[in-house]
């Protein structure tokens, strides 16, 4: 794939009182070219978890395919849905097992298993469990500044969505490799995994830009 030359992005995960919000920009870059401005970077794995990807496109998609397949096998063998914690352990084993020829990826895993769960993984399989928020991609610095200033314990879903999209917009504004026509956002809670419509995401984006 020509996109494999270089990619950049901004993705975030934010814990709120009752779930997790995952959000990402939509730009896929090839060197200094904005190759695609409607790229999807959040993937629903099952009814309890979803994953954001940053890094090499081919590597990211290969790892996510492994995870989706393993999630289905896990459910068949155990008669239960794979949790975010189990998915993170599986991904860590894959990434660490390939550390000498690494997958160039940084993943944020969000899920709900009686309570919100949020993890991020390094390309070598390091696991970081987060109790507030997680960030990945080339827009990390800008997004982190926004999250540091705006996060508070006990946020509701609407507040978490607004903060997550504001963090993505910060990355899009200052990071050359983040952008796209809109923002992708998912909510994961006791009801399952659902994606905000394009109209909903764009409405929040407009609100945070004018705030």
Stated pTM of the model: 0.91
**Treating both helix axes as pointing N-terminal to C-terminal, what angle do 140-150 and 157-174 enclose, rounded to 10 degrees?**
150
pLDDT at position 176: 61
* Residues of the chain falling short of pLDDT 70: 1-8, 28-38, 176-177, 180-181
pLDDT of residue 40: 87
Q: Which of 7, 9, 52, 83 is catalytic?
A: 9
Q: What is the domain-level CATH number for residue 137?
A: 3.60.20.10
Q: What is the structure's pLDDT at 34?
A: 61
pLDDT of residue 182: 81
Q: Is 184 a catalytic residue?
A: no
Residue 42 in tokens? 């959040």
Q: Half-sphere exposure of 204 toward its Cβ, with a 13 Å CA cutoff?
A: 23
Judged by DSSP in three states, 164 sits in helix
**pLDDT at residue 2, rounded to an integer:** 36
Domain count, the chain: 1
Domain span holding position 157: 2-210
Locate the DSSP E strands across the chain: 10-16, 19-24, 28-30, 33-36, 42-46, 49-55, 105-112, 116-121, 127-129, 133-137, 184-189, 192-195
């Amino acid at each position: 794939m020509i996109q494999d030359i270089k990619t950049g992005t901004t993705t975030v995960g934010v814990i709120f009182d009752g779930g997790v919000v995952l959000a990402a920009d939509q730009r896929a870059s090839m060197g200094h070219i904005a190759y695609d401005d409607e790229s999807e970077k959040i993937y629903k794995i099952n009814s309890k978890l979803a994953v954001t990807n940053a890094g090499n496109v081919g590597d990211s998609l290969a790892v996510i395919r492994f995870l989706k397949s393993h999630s289905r096998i896990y459910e068949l063998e155990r008669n239960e849905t794979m949790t975010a914690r189990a998915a993170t352990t599986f991904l860590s084993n894959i990434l660490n097992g390939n550390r000498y020829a690494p997958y160039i990826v940084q993943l944020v895993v969000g899920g709900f298993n009686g309570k919100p769960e949020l993890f991020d993984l390094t390309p070598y399989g390091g696991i970081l469990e987060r109790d507030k928020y997680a960030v990945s991609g080339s827009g990390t610095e800008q997004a982190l500044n926004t999250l540091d200033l705006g996060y508070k314990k006990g946020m509701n879903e609407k507040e978490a969505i607004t903060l997550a999209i504001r963090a993505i917009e910060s990355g899009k504004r200052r990071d050359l490799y983040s952008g796209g026509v809109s923002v992708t956002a998912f909510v994961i809670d006791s009801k399952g995994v659902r994606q905000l419509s394009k109209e909903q995401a764009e409405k929040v984006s407009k609100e945070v830009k004018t705030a």
